[in-house]
Each structure stands twice: as structure tokens, then as C-alpha cells.
A and B are shown apart, each in its own frame.
Chain A
Amino acid sequence: MTLSRIYLEKKSKLKSVERELESVLSVANPLLSEASLDLLKAGGKRIRPLLTLLCAEYGDAERKAVKDSAVMLELIHMASLVHDDVVDDSDLRRGKPTVKAQWNNRVAMFTGDFIFAKAIELISDVDNLEVHRSISRVIRDLSLGEIDQIKELYHWKQNLRTYLRRIKRKTALLMALSCQLGALSSGCSSEIGLKLYYFGYYLGMSYQITDDILDFIGTKKQLGKPAGGDLRNGNITLPTYFAMNRYGLRNSIRKVLENKNPSHEQWDAVIHSIRASGAIRDSEQLSNAYLQKGIDLLEQLPQVKVTHALRVIADYIGTRNY
């Protein structure tokens, strides 16, 4: 089984999720509708709904709550993207103008808040308090993670724990929730739900670390921006953290981070030194360790077709290079 095969097998269900997304975002106000639908049509991997649909196969995958959960998760992700573009001052996303670039920051606020509220309304029909407590905690932690990221910008003294907590909140929790909701909304036991939650969590940690590695080693063409963009924006990710723990590099990285206006050459030099330091290899090792924990958990789940599919997704995350 391959990743494309998994997408192919889930094609009709993913299309149904897509249709539902289009339907809930088609509202009377033309501006709000256009802004939301443009974002939807820009596409994306839909990894979260895919995980929900897959994990639902441990229970009754045909339940309405499964599709609602998948739609809700994608809406939350979309809402956060609209607001992230204001935070990052980004004009392009997936090659298309962002809501804030096409209209303005205020419209981006209205659109993000609207989509987020739509997600909450949709899931409020689910009659399961455990589900609501889990979703609401993750959503709260997501926003706390984003605030932490701003707080920790340019703070070269931060430790590994700070970084891991940040990526947990930023990425891993939503993936964990995607898996857990698939299980709970399809009527699985809390025990299976919890195992899938942790599978998604480890997957998400590995996914974000890989993203942070790719930011250093990707080409300008692959990334759509110069390599090391995170560091240039003051965001200290795992490769930088590992590099700072190596002799001689801590001071040079610190100097650039503390410099109010470093030149392109200074940035390029420090990014080159991080790449050459072995920090990328160390980061890959940690990413793989998380992935392995996720894979180990799969062994505790019923050995059915979907377990194999989740293993394929884990392998893809471990080898992705874009």
C-alpha cells in the first residue's frame, strides 16, 4: 500500500468532506463567502481529515459524526491559516493571495473568526462531552502555542523543552485530535481513542520537526522563500537549538539574533554553519524517535487494514522531503 493508494481509497469520502466544507462556507455575505471559498479552493493535503476518516475505521466509519469531525478539523485548520497570514504578514499561500493581501487584516479577522465559529457550531451537535472537552482543550492550547512562539522569538536562551512544548501545541495536538476524533466519533472505546491520540501526537511532533529541518535544507524553489526563513524571523527551531549546543556556534548564532539589523550575508553564513554542524542529523534522529514511538503504538491496535495504512502514513512522514 502507498500513500497515493490510501488517498485513492478515501477519495469519495474526502470529496464528500470537501463538498460539506464548500456548503458550510457558502454564506449569504458575498465577501465572507468568497474569502472562505478561495481559501478552500487553494487546496492542501487534507492530512487531518484523512487521519480522522482512517481512524474511524476502527469503529463505524459511516456515522455522520465522523464526517462532521473531519470537516470541523479542517475548518479549524483553515481559520488558523487565515489568522497566521496576518501574524506572519504573508501575502501568498499555496501560490494564491492570502485573505489579508486580497482584502485587508480586518477582513482576515472576520473570516478567521467566522470559520472558527462555524467549526464550533458544527461540532456542537455531537452529544459527547469527552469529545468537547478534548477539542476545546486542543483549540485553547493551539492558541497558547502561537502566543508562546511570539514570546520566544529571538530568545536564544530557550531550551529543548520550550521548543518541544511549542511544536506540540502548534502542530502535534491537532493531529492527535484528528486521530482521536476519528475513533470517538465512530463509536470506538476511549482506550482505542487514547492510543490513536498518542499515535497522532507522535506523528505530529515528527511532522513539525521535519518541517523545521526542511526549512533549513530545502531549496528556494521548494520552499518558495530563502532557506532558514524561520531563523531569519527569529524563530528558533530544533536545528538551531542543536547547533547552538556545539562548540563555537552558540556565539555566532547569538550575535546574529541579537543584531538589530543583520545583513543577508550574516544570515546566510549562520544558516550555512547550522547546516554543516551535524544539527540536521541530530534533528532527524529526534524526528525518527518520535515516529518510532508512533509506530510502536500501532502494534497495540487491532491488526487490520487501516493499521497498515497508518503505518504507511508514518513512513511517508519519515521520508518526506517537501
Chain B
Amino acid sequence: MKMFDMGGQALSLFKELDLVCHQLCLELKHEYVQAVLPKPDIDRDKLTIYYMLFRMNEPQQAAGSYTKSVMVAEIGLNTHETMTCEKRTNKELLKQRQLTVLSGDFYSALYYYTLARQSNIELVKWVAQAIQNFNEYKCALFFPPVHFGWQELIHEIKKIESALVGKIARQLGFKHVVPYISDFFLIKRLIAERDLRNEEKHTGYFSKMRLDDDDQLVEKLDSEIKNRTAQLSQALKRSEDQSELFLKLKDYINLQLPLTA
């Protein structure tokens, strides 16, 4: 793994990320919520890519703090993603649903709180704008104004998966890496959807949509994952971009792609 130069005190990226991840866990900690709900998932790939983006222009501590705040916002949205719709009478299940709403709100409030304390209101604005887009895309996915074909559906999912990270990358001046990041997170989501489907779990995107050929979904996902992974690897290989960020991302994605697939 490449090292970031920290004025002679180089720490491996891996160690820096461990520290950020540890601090993020502390920030998310709420004793009562965690006694009722499972601990929120931390997407280590998102954490890494945010950190790489912020680290290009910021010292280690600031980059770590911004990464934490943006991850908290992501986790808030992901928490609401697990919302169920069926009627519930069981008190414990009801409590879980109530806390799903409220802990998601808490995380959404926390990103603003932490960024305001770091005096970074510009980043607050970017995240707020990205969250609006994210929710617009979600509504469009689950309640499409017109019937989506397969590729349109995949395109919508791609927009959702990189709504926040894509926005941050663009705002920081790294528009050139957005297509690669978006493809990477789309592939991750498709893999997660396929695995959920295989386990017959109903918490993924596809279980909430009506598809014409539902019984062939796993095969279609498999094929999409394979094609998209090959395309992304080729695109990374072919690119003539020699920027520091691109090269780091290329290394990282190339390392992670076989692991995710």
C-alpha cells in the first residue's frame, strides 16, 4: 500500500484509515440505539476513497475529520435505507423501526454538527445538496414516472450509489475520477444485491421493485457484474491520467475489484 508523505512522519494509508475508522465508530456510538439495533455498517471502501479525496489538499487530521463527517451522513442515509413498510404490532419490532428512523436522523444531524465545529460550512452545503439528489434519485427508482428498461435501472442505481462521493469529488476539483468511482460503487452494489437475492433476503433495491423477468435476476446481475468489472479494469488500464489521485485510486480499485467480485 502506498504511503502518504507526512513531513517525515509517514504512516501507511492503512494505519491512517484504521484511526479514522476507530474515531468514526466512537462518533456513531449511542448506547441505547446500539442495544436495540445492529451496529451501523461502515463501508471501508467509501471511507478510503473519501479519505484519499480529502487528503489530496488537507493534512491528515482535517482529512480524517471531514471523512468522518461525510461517512456519518452516508450512514444516516443507509440507516433509513433499512426502513420496512409492513404493519407491525410486536412492540420490539416497532421499537426497532422507531429507532431506525430516529438514529438515521441523529446521524444526519451529526454531520452538520461536526462540520460546523470544524468551521467547514462549504462542505455542509455540498453534503446537503448531495443528500437532496440522493433522495430524488431514490424516489425516481422506486416510483419511476416511466417504465425503466434494465440499463436505465442500472444507470439510476449508479447515480444513487455515488450521489455523495461523486459530488464531493467534483467539488474538490477531481471530476476526472468520478466515472471510475461511480463504476466501482455500482459494481459493489450489484454484488450486494446478487448476494442478498441468493440468500433470499428482501432488503435490497431489487426486492422493492417490480421487474418483468424477476426469476432471471441473479443471472442478469451476474452478467452485469462481470461486464462492468471487465470494463472498469480496462478503463483504468487505458487511461493516460497520471495525476497522483488517479494513480492511487487505480491501485486501490485494482486491489479491491477481485476481492469484491
Contact = CB atoms under 8 A, between A and B. Distances in A.
Given A140-B109, A147-B30, A109 B83 contact: yes
B192 interface: no
B116 A87 contact: no
B105 A83 contact: yes
A140 B30 contact: no
Interface residues on A, range: 35 or more
Contacts of A292: none
A136 B127 CA distance: 14
Given A120-B128, A144-B106, A113 B135 contact: yes
Contacts of B208: 106
Given A87-B101, A143-B106, A151-B32, A129 B138 contact: no
A87 B98 contact: yes
B28 to A, nearest CB: 13
Given A28-B136, A87-B102, A151-B32, A121 B128 contact: yes
A175 B77 CA distance: 27
A133 B88 CA distance: 38
A160 interface: no
Nearest to A35: B139
Given A105-B85, A113-B77, A133 B135 contact: no
A32 B103 CA distance: 22
Contacts of A137: 113
B85 A106 contact: yes
Interface in A78-123: 80, 83, 86-87, 89, 103-107, 109-114, 116-118, 120-121
Given A104-B85, A107-B139, A151-B32, A139 B101 contact: no
B170 interface: no
B159 interface: no
Contacts of B121: 124, 127, 129, 132
Interface string B26-51: 00001011000000000000000000
Contacts, number: 136
A47 interface: no
B117 interface: yes
B139 A118 contact: no
A117 B135 contact: yes
A18 interface: no
B46 to A, nearest CB: 18
Nearest to A146: B102
Contact of B113 (A124, A129, A140): A140
A129 B119 contact: yes
B95 interface: yes
B75 interface: no
Interface in B16-33: 30, 32-33
Contacts of B112: 120, 132, 135-136, 139-140
A30 B145 contact: yes
A169 B143 CA distance: 35
- Of B32, B110, B138, which is in contact with the most chain A CB atoms at under 10 Å from its CB? B138
A27 B136 CA distance: 9
A137 to B, nearest CB: 6
A117 B102 CA distance: 16
A31 interface: yes
B139 A140 contact: no
A107 to B, nearest CB: 7
Contacts of A120: 112, 124-125, 127-128
B80 interface: yes
Contact of A139 (B113, B119, B128): B113
A118 B135 CA distance: 11
A147 to B, nearest CB: 5
B238 to A, nearest CB: 35
Interface of A: 27-32, 80, 83, 86-87, 89, 103-107, 109-114, 116-118, 120-121, 124-125, 127, 129, 132-133, 135-137, 139-140, 142-144, 146-147, 150-151
Given A116-B108, A124-B122, A146-B105, 8 more contacts: A31-B139, A86-B83, A109-B101, A113-B76, A132-B116, A140-B106, A143-B106, A147-B33
